[in-house]
Chain A
Amino acid sequence: AQSVTQPDIHITVSEGASLELRCNYSYGATPYLFWYVQSPGQGLQLLLKYFSGDTLVQGIKGFEAEFKRSQSSFNLRKPSVHWSDAAEYFCAVGQLPSSGSARQLTFGSGTQLTVLP
């Protein structure tokens, strides 16, 4: 069974500092990997996704993530954090889509990001 671990429950950074959120996954085949962001009282918004190819993927809002197969990791990074980035971040892994199968995603437990002024 696939699983996702986000080891950091809560991270605090100062505005302008760099950010890295960790994600480790367990999956028997090539994974489809995602990062979502959830602002308070809102649904989840897709930041970026990795299917194949270049292991460094760019997303919205200046975020990027790097897929490292040898470490089973898909860490999210941002060079300079803005106060508006304060939110909860979820990493997710999915199975290779096949005909008739739903795209079931398994989510990590989330990392809450606080940004200090």
Chain B
Amino acid sequence: NAGVTQTPKFRVLKTGQSMTLLCAQDMNHEYMYWYRQDPGMGLRLIHYSVGEGTTAKGEVPDGYNVSRLKKQNFLLGLESAAPSQTSVYFCASSSIGTGNYGYTFGSGTRLTVV
């Protein structure tokens, strides 16, 4: 009954460092998403995937890369972290069926870039 699991939960990076955020879901969902949440701005879509091996850009993709080599995993990479990437990152997944349109969210990763 894990749902969507994000690792790590917290991370502090220095400017210029790289890191990868991992999202894993065990619900066999086809679609996966990465959002960032900033105060007063709600959630903004970074990248998303409609299936294994496919990814697409969202609203704020610059500075991020993603990969979905396996259906259950969706990785978000920061190649050279910047202070503007300090945020809370949420992964979500959803299924094809319209009855299950809503997302299932992970609990988030709080990233601070100093």
Binding site for B on A (CB under 8 A): 4, 9, 32, 34, 36, 41-46, 49, 51, 90, 94, 97, 100-105, 107-110
Distance in Å: Cβ of B77 to nearest Cβ of chain A: 20
Residue of B nearest to A1 (CB): B59
B50 at the interface (CB under 8 A from A): yes
Distance in Å: Cβ of A38 to nearest Cβ of chain B: 9
| Assembled-state Cα–Cα distance A46/B42 (Å) | 15
Residue of B nearest to A44 (CB): B105
Chain B residues positioned under 8 Å from A42 (CB to CB): 107-108
| Assembled-state Cα–Cα distance A116/B102 (Å) | 31
The reply to whether B98 and A43 form a contact with Cβ atoms under 8 Å apart is no
The reply to whether A34 and B56 form a contact with Cβ atoms under 8 Å apart is no
The reply to whether A104 and B103 form a contact with Cβ atoms under 8 Å apart is no
The secondary-structure label for the interface of chain B is strand
Chain B residues positioned under 8 Å from A109 (CB to CB): 40-42
Residue of B nearest to A48 (CB): B102
Chain A residues positioned under 8 Å from B108 (CB to CB): 41-43
The reply to whether A104 and B48 form a contact with Cβ atoms under 8 Å apart is yes
Q: Which of A102, A104, A105 has the most CB atoms of chain B within a 10 A radius of its CB?
A: A102
| Assembled-state Cα–Cα distance A103/B33 (Å) | 9
Q: Which of A4, A44, A51, A104 has the most CB atoms of chain B within a 10 A radius of its CB?
A: A44
Chain A residues positioned under 8 Å from B111 (CB to CB): none
What are 27 residue pairs bridging A and B, where the CB atoms are less than 8 Å apart in the complex? A34-B102, A41-B107, A41-B108, A42-B107, A43-B90, A43-B105, A43-B107, A46-B103, A49-B102, A51-B101, A94-B101, A102-B31, A102-B33, A102-B49, A102-B50, A102-B94, A103-B31, A103-B94, A104-B33, A104-B45, A105-B103, A107-B43, A107-B44, A108-B42, A109-B40, A109-B41, A110-B40
